[in-house]
Structure 1
Amino acid sequence: MCTHWPTCPTADSPDHHDAVIVSAHPEQGWNLLCNGTIVFDDTGELLPDGRIVGPLRTMREPVAA
């Protein structure tokens, strides 16, 4: 899928987020990467094979009263 040199990492590789953005849609909260991965602003992903990666969220510290 990638035509860049050096080629972008595949969607299955650990560094797949380093792929080039080929279509940015900040108004909708997502970007399409050169390797076919759709990355959402909430850190969730849709992989080219249809698998879904849920957003990575951290627990907030309780607010002191």
Structure 2
Amino acid sequence: MCQHQPACPSAYAPDREAAHVVASHPDQGWSLLCNGIVYFEDTGLLLPDGTVVTPHRVLAPAA
């Protein structure tokens, strides 16, 4: 999918969220990355094969 040089990481690489945004819909809370991932603002992901990755936001320690 990716036409960038160097190519963006695949949808299954550990750094997959570093891929370029090709469509952004902040009003709906999601973006499409060039590796086929739908990235949600809560940090959840939908991979190209339909696999759901639950949100993985790092929370600040309680004060």
TM-score w.r.t. length of structure 1: 0.86
Task: Provide the rounded CA distance (Å) in 1 between the counterparts of 2:60 and 2:5.
Answer: 39
- Following TM superposition, by how much is the alpha carbon of 1:3 offset from its aligned partner in structure 2, in angstroms? 0.5
- Unpaired stretches in structure 2, ≥5 consecutive residues: none
Residue number in structure 2 paired with 1:5: 5
Residue number in structure 2 paired with 1:40: 40
Task: Provide the rounded CA distance (Å) in 1 between the counterparts of 2:55 and 2:5.
Answer: 30
SS of equivalent residue, structure 1 residue 14: coil
TM-score w.r.t. length of structure 2: 0.88
Larger Cα Rg: Structure 1 or Structure 2? 1
Does 2:11 align with 1:19?
no
Task: Provide the rounded CA distance (Å) in 1 between the counterparts of 2:60 and 2:3.
Answer: 39
- Unpaired stretches in structure 1, ≥5 consecutive residues: none
- Following TM superposition, by how much is the alpha carbon of 1:8 offset from its aligned partner in structure 2, in angstroms? 0.5
Task: Provide the rounded CA distance (Å) in 2 between the counterparts of 1:61 and 1:18.
Answer: 28
* Cα RMSD (Å): 1.6
Q: Percent of aligned positions with the same letter in both sequences?
A: 53
